[in-house]
Amino acid sequence: MKPTDIKNLLEAVEKGELSATDALGRLKSLPFEDLGFAHVDHHRHLRCGFAEVIFCPGKTAQQICEIFERLLVSGTNVLATRAEPGVYKAILARFPRAQYNETARTITLVQEDPAKLIGQVVIVSAGTSDLPVAEEASETAQIMGSKVQTIYDVGVAGLHRLLGHSEQIQQANAVVVVAGMEGALPSVVGGLVAVPVIAVPTSIGYGASFGGVAPLLTMLNSCASGVTVVNIDNGFAGGYTAALINRLAVEGGPAK
């Protein structure tokens, strides 16, 4: 249920096509659907600006398909993350328009064609091995309506590679920086820009990376201001927050 649906509902009441009681009932019943194993939150688009996203691990292919369908029916774009190829196969069989990004492990189905993607989100990765996470961020930001540019494999051990792209980075409304190993890249990028940097640690590295704890701590302790951090390997959160900020920068927010 998108804001425009709510508006239509209220106008129908205004025009006398719908009683206040019926409208209330519909609003009350709409927020979520109880599928037994899941409560699909149709209210989220209204509250938070984007529909519920399906996090696949721990759900059966059948459960994912059912939630996917409920979201489709509500009219929004659909995004499923951490989807194994087998899950995509099951989704594809029922929803032939669904797309799969193998590297990012995302399934997407675009229903509302964004006339044009807006603003600019830049996604930077420290190494080639960080691509799955960076691509998840990219897919997420795009389905939320952001233009995205990617700059990959520009880790701090060869600074000139990063500095060669600094102009490009400085044109973004928000920058997502994805890095494993020592995770120093967001601090350096944070020192180059005047917009928020969302740092995404990855689990790539030798033993004492501890599955991404090392870059996570690095990023939390960044000496550069304006750097905030999301969970290890959580490209989705990076792309989502960058898209929120990008939208605010282009369209403005509630407070002006």
Residues within window 146-165 making contact with a copy of itself, judged by CB under 8 A: 147, 152-161, 164
Q: By C-beta, is 98 or 120 nearer to a copy of itself? A: 120
Does 145 help bind a copy of itself (rule: CB under 8 A)? no
Q: Token pair 């997407």 is at which residue?
A: 108
Q: By C-beta, is 7 or 17 nearer to a copy of itself? A: 7
**Subset of 82-111 contacting a copy of itself (CB under 8 A):** none
**Subset of 31-60 contacting a copy of itself (CB under 8 A):** 31-32, 36-39, 41, 43-44, 47-50, 52-53, 55, 57-59
**Subset of 211-250 contacting a copy of itself (CB under 8 A):** 211-234, 236-237, 240-241, 244-246, 248-250
Interface segment toward a copy of itself; rule CB under 8 A; list 11-19, 83-91, 105-113, 204-212: 204-212
Number of residues that bind a copy of itself (CB under 8 A): 109
Q: By C-beta, is 7 or 97 nearer to a copy of itself? A: 7
Q: Among 120, 138, 141, 148, indicate the residue that binds a copy of itself (CB under 8 A).
A: 120
Does 115 help bind a copy of itself (rule: CB under 8 A)? no
Does 75 help bind a copy of itself (rule: CB under 8 A)? no
Q: By C-beta, is 98 or 227 nearer to a copy of itself? A: 227
Token digits of residue 188 = 């350096």
